[in-house]
Amino acid sequence: MLLQLKNIFKWVNSGGQRIFLLKDINLNVHEGEFISVMGPSGSGKSTLLNVIGMLDAFDEGEYQFLDESVHDLREKNRANLYKEYIGFVFQSYHLLDDLTVKENLEMPLLYKKVKGPERKAMVADMLDRFNIVGKKDLFPAQLSGGQQQLVGIARALISSPKLILADEPTGNLNSKQGEEIMELFKQLNQEGVTIIQVTHSEKNAAYGSRTINLLDGRMV
Amino acid sequence: MFKNQLKIAWRSIKKQPFLNALNTFGLAIGIAGTLIICLFIYDELSYDQMFLDSERIHRINVDAKFGGPGREMSQVSAPMAGAILNDIPQVEEVIRFRPWGTTSLNKIDSRELVLEDNATWVDTNVVSMFGLKMLYGDPLKALEQPNSMILTKSAVEKHFEPSSAIGRELIVNEGQTFTITGVIEDLPQNSFLAEYSVFMSLMGFQDAFQNEWGNHNYNTFIKLKHNADAADIAAPLQGMMERYLIPYAQQFFPGITLKEFEAAGNYVNYSSMKLTDLHLHSHRAEDMGRNGDINNIYILSFIALFLILLASINFMNLSTAYSLKRAKEIGIRKTLGSNKKGIIRQFLMESGLITFGSLIIGLAMAWIALPFFNDLAEKAISIPYSSPVFWLVLFAAAILLALCSGSYPAFFMSKFRPARVLKGSGETSLGGAKLRSGLVIFQFAISVFLIIGTLVVGEQLQFIQNKDLGYSKDQVLLINNLNRLNNQAGSFKEEVKQLSQVADATLSEFVPTPSSRTDSSFFLEGKTDQESAVNMQGWRVDYDYMNTLDLKLVSGRDFDPSIATDSTAMIINESATKVLGLSPEEVLGKRVANGLGEDALSYYTVIGVVKNFHFESMRNVVRPLSLRISNSLGYMAVKLKSGNFEETVSKIQGIWDSRSPGLSFDYRFMDDSFNEVYENERRLGKIFIIFTSLSIFIACLGLFGLAAFNAHKRIKEIGVRKVLGASVGQITYRLSVDFLKLVGIAILIALPIGWFAMNRWLQDFTYRIEIGVGIFLASALLAILIAMLTVSYQSIKAAIVNPVKSLRTE
């Protein structure tokens, strides 16, 4: 098992009232799964993804990731854990505008202190795999949305994570670009990468092996 | 319309409290600092302007060299004034002062001390020539009689009703009786006469009427006629030399001509200096006022300019940086039909409001800080609330400041194109980044420069403090006015020496710290030409002098009371030996005379050579000096053993009081007296530190604001980097390093300028430090450290933000 959420609650206090963002979430994810999280706006999809990605804390419950108890870990160890095993893909790509495609890909490796030659090899490998060798010296603004998201996924993949978390990865793309990205996810999943995506579209959700529906922070 | 704009300006200021608080605070500090400095400078420049016809009054200076090193004097010989009035038609009036130092006035009957203050002898026309305000007495005739004197109002009012003071008789310095013939209004703080409250008529002073050209003892002032030019009198003034001084010199050197005199390397140069220039430009021995220094005025002007510039730059920097936040507002305004002008007006209105607020806060700050500053600078400056000119200048300056600092942001922002800024959440690329970096560099270059200045001044002062002076000033008590004890002084000294806590004591009017000085020419026996004259200090001391002050001998021996011939013995210093052209060993046993041939007054045998000791400021080289045994009453220097000084001093005071009831016991420690010589530097050092700190603080405010803005602008990038695994440390480093680069460039710019400027300042000192690498390193490190502290707060704050917050897609 890759990860297990047990009775996860998350809330905020607003005006003396406790507003639940996540309510009693129980979720087991096995390696190689491709899960789609669906639900209306404000149902807690992104919050759930952030909790799984260890970017956000939760208030109650237990979270096991590869036999580590995330809820018992200190901030720093948690960061090390997600650095090692999780890659993030965002709706608005979040590439760094001042860096070229190549430099954007290189960044996670820099933070993992991968040595120079090895880093170059990995970047070259990734450029090759995504067929963007010709664009390696361009800046994000010079790319189309689809291409930018391609770079975003490549960046998420470069440190060979076990899990990819994608928050509406096709939300800013047209349907053709979206389809290409989803095909890519499917292919990655077949290669063994576990994927959890948040999406609004039934069509995209269908790429997944399993769909979770959220409503007002609760799994339905 | 105006009211509406004002209202909107106020609202938008309120909307960004952090930015506008920084802006207002920075400007207020800049205004307060600049205001104080300007008031100080104004005060310094206003010296002696209040006197009647001050622009026509000049002082006669003389630069003379006659054996030994040259001297720049502010006093000329007694007959000079009369000669000038007689010979130079452009001169309307002349006057002489003969300062007499601290003088006591006692009542005749009760001997009660009325006053102890600075007195000067003066010619009869002092009231009319300087336009002094005579409260009681006849302004023209008050000083006509010998033994008459004019006092200031505050000098008399403690003891008499000023109106009834006229005609009263007082004893001056326990000797002659003088009659008060006039009471004048107190002299203004910013005048060369500020320290004097007793003016005694020269009519009764014999020396003033001798035809003695050899002594230079009179501060002599001339008033030129209307339309006369100071340049016109330069030649006739110098002509006095050949006309009077050479004939006088021929009494001693028969047949000497001006040419021969000059051929020997000697000179006497007369010149005149404007009364109103004296305070800042005259650094001569025996200046009457406590003078300032024009260099300090320049330095302070620069600092004032820096301060206000720094604050103004902050304003521009922060306003343009934060304008990004307002791009949308401007876009909307433009689409609603506002033109460029309207937007500029709106922003100028805001900067005007902020400047106005800063002005009020700055005034309050200056008002609070002024007493402390006055204390430091020994001034009595106040904010001239009642002067309309002051307010006019202040408001004009404020408007100028608002325009200067507000116009760039206003024009910058008015150029935003609505289509681009309204497009949505996308960042508008913000122009002006280069300019902002340039301004930050400029600010820090100034700060680093000021740090270097502060460190150099500090180190030089330290150097002076620690330099081997050739004498020991520590634990030495200086008791003043020994002359009042007259023949009791000797036994007083012996009694003090008996105290167990006293190591030694000596009587002399000459001590290495400021005290009497007397210069005269000495000749080596057998050499009768004027070339071998040595102009040196002739100090009269007693047998305990060398020991008490811990003077070191280079050769020979100290005075010995058991050797009868030592009453005509002399010890000279190394400089004197050098001028005589002999080695310290050769000079022993030689005889010197103060006079030539038959005119020689007396001969002295050199028995020792004392190591040069600093009896003048370190600005000057140690000049030739001689010590000889003679009764000389002025100070008593008492070397104390370690222990309870207070107790010892009170014991000594007990002995003093038992001998001279009613005479005040006036004492101080020698190192305090020593420190006073460098008071000017010390003050400069302190003022430097204060305003350096202020300017650094202002620069930091700006940097702080920019760092906050920068962190805000890069919030998304920080989020992405964190998600991709960057640690807080790495993010903090990334955010800080750009600013540190700017500071680094600033340091590189400031170092050579600082080195150059401070080396020039040091040239004033004959004995000075070398500016070492250490100072530069320290300045650079300090600047970096300060910048780092400033920036890191914002950087760390940004770095620890949870990326979930910054990456939300809305």
- For residue B489, how far is the Cα from the chain centroid? 36
Q: Which residues of B touch A83 (CB under 8 A)?
A: 725
Same domain, B427 and B320: yes
> What per-residue confidence (pLDDT) applies to B254?
78
- Is the pLDDT at B464 greater than 70, yes or no? yes
Q: How far apart are CA B605 and CA B564, in angstroms?
A: 13
Q: Considering chain A, what is the average pLDDT of its residues?
A: 90
B730 and A92 within 8 Å at the Cβ level: the answer is no
Unique residue bearing structure tokens 């040239």 = B763
In DSSP terms, A17 is beta-bridged to A14
CATH code of A30's domain: 3.40.50.300
Which letter does DSSP use for residue B315 in this model? H
- Is the pLDDT at B69 greater than 80, yes or no? no
Percent of chain A with pLDDT over 70: 100
pLDDT band per the 50, 70, 90 thresholds, residue B805 = confident
> What per-residue confidence (pLDDT) applies to A90?
87
Same domain, B307 and B408: yes
Report the number of distinct structural domains present in chain A.
Answer: 1
Q: How far apart are CA A214 and CA A210, in angstroms?
A: 13
Q: Which domain holds residue A21?
A: 3-219
Same domain, B163 and B221: yes
Residues 6+ apart with CB under 8 A from B164: none
Which three-class secondary structure state does DSSP give residue B130?
helix
- Is the pLDDT at B494 greater than 60, yes or no? yes
> What per-residue confidence (pLDDT) applies to B597?
52
Q: Which residues of B touch A88 (CB under 8 A)?
A: 723-724
Q: How far apart are CA B455 and CA B771, in angstroms?
A: 10
Q: Does A106 touch chain B (CB under 8 A)?
A: no
Burial of B451 (0-12, 13-18, 19+ CB in 10 A): buried
Unique residue bearing structure tokens 């007082």 = B170
Task: Tally C-beta pairs within 8 A across A and B.
Answer: 44
Percent of chain B with pLDDT over 70: 95
B721 and A155 within 8 Å at the Cβ level: the answer is no
Q: Which residues of A touch B720 (CB under 8 A)?
A: 94-96
Amino acid letter, B74: S
Mean pLDDT of B660-689: 80
Mean pLDDT of B117-135: 93
φ, ψ of residue B619 in degrees (nearest 5): -65, -25
φ, ψ of residue B654 in degrees (nearest 5): -60, -45
Same domain, B441 and B347: yes
- Is the pLDDT at B485 greater than 60, yes or no? yes
> What per-residue confidence (pLDDT) applies to B359?
93
Kindly state the helix (H) or strand (E) to which residue A6 belongs, with its residue range: strand A3-14
Burial of B95 (0-12, 13-18, 19+ CB in 10 A): buried
Mean pLDDT of B446-469: 87
Last residue of a domain, one of B633, B650, B676: B676
Question: Is residue B332 in a domain?
Answer: yes
Chain A nearest C-alpha distance from B809 (Å): 7
Last residue of a domain, one of B642, B676, B710: B676
ipTM of the complex: 0.80
Same domain, B496 and B638: yes
Residue range A33-84, pLDDT digits in tens = 999 999 998 898 989 998 998 888 899 999 999 888 888 888 778 878 888 8
- Let me know: does B32 contact B394? Beta carbons within 8 Å: no
Q: Which of A115-124, B66-75, B132-141 has the lowest mean pLDDT?
A: B66-75
Amino acid letter, B581: G
- Is the pLDDT at B427 greater than 50, yes or no? no
> What per-residue confidence (pLDDT) applies to B532?
65
Same domain, B248 and B316: no
A96 and B720 within 8 Å at the Cβ level: the answer is yes
Q: Which residues of A touch B725 (CB under 8 A)?
A: 79, 83, 108, 111-112
> What per-residue confidence (pLDDT) applies to B289?
83
Tokens coding B300: 């302070």
B802 and A55 within 8 Å at the Cβ level: the answer is yes
φ, ψ of residue B596 in degrees (nearest 5): -120, 145
Q: Which of A201-215, B369-383, B409-423, B788-802 has the lowest mean pLDDT?
A: B409-423
Chain B nearest C-alpha distance from A151 (Å): 14
Alpha helices of B660-772 — where are they, by DSSP H?
A: 670-677, 679-713, 715-723, 728-762
> What per-residue confidence (pLDDT) applies to B420?
64
Report the number of distinct structural domains present in chain B.
Answer: 3
Question: Is residue B368 in a domain?
Answer: yes
> What per-residue confidence (pLDDT) applies to B806?
76
Q: How far apart are CA B338 and CA B344, in angstroms?
A: 10
Q: Which of A99-113, B199-213, B254-268 has the lowest mean pLDDT?
A: B254-268
Q: How far apart are CA B520 and CA B600, in angstroms?
A: 13
> What per-residue confidence (pLDDT) applies to B423?
55
Strand (E) positions, B509-642?
519-524, 533-541, 553-556, 569-573, 591-593, 603-610, 625-629, 635-640
pLDDT band per the 50, 70, 90 thresholds, residue B418 = low
Same domain, B441 and B579: no
Percent of chain B with pLDDT over 90: 32
- Let me know: does B480 contact B508? Beta carbons within 8 Å: no
> What per-residue confidence (pLDDT) applies to B149?
94
- Taking the CB of residue B493, how many other CB atoms lie within 10 A of it? 22
Same domain, B669 and B697: no
- Is the pLDDT at B428 greater than 50, yes or no? no
- Is the pLDDT at B810 greater than 50, yes or no? no
Sign of CA dihedral B323, B324, B326, B331: positive
Same domain, B420 and B564: no
Same domain, B337 and B369: yes
Nearest CA in chain B to A165: B723
> What per-residue confidence (pLDDT) applies to B598?
54
Sign of CA dihedral B191, B195, B197, B201: negative
Q: How far apart are CA B276 and CA B296, in angstroms?
A: 17
Amino acid letter, A67: D
> What per-residue confidence (pLDDT) applies to B468?
85
> What per-residue confidence (pLDDT) applies to B594?
74
Same domain, B613 and B487: yes
Q: Which of B34-38, B150-154, B203-207, B684-688 has the lowest mean pLDDT?
A: B684-688
pLDDT band per the 50, 70, 90 thresholds, residue B425 = very low
Q: How far apart are CA B11 and CA B1, in angstroms?
A: 15
Q: Which domain holds residue B592?
A: 476-676
Which three-class secondary structure state does DSSP give residue B530?
helix
Of the two residues B527 and B293, the one the predictor is more confident about is: B293
- Let me know: does B430 contact B420? Beta carbons within 8 Å: no
Q: Which of B321-335, B471-485, B499-513, B781-795 has the lowest mean pLDDT?
A: B321-335
Question: Is residue B287 in a domain?
Answer: no
- Is the pLDDT at B275 greater than 90, yes or no? yes
Q: Does B335 touch chain A (CB under 8 A)?
A: no
Q: How far apart are CA B486 and CA B507, in angstroms?
A: 12
pLDDT band per the 50, 70, 90 thresholds, residue B599 = low
pLDDT band per the 50, 70, 90 thresholds, residue B150 = very high
Last residue of a domain, one of B627, B657, B676: B676
Question: Is residue B288 in a domain?
Answer: no
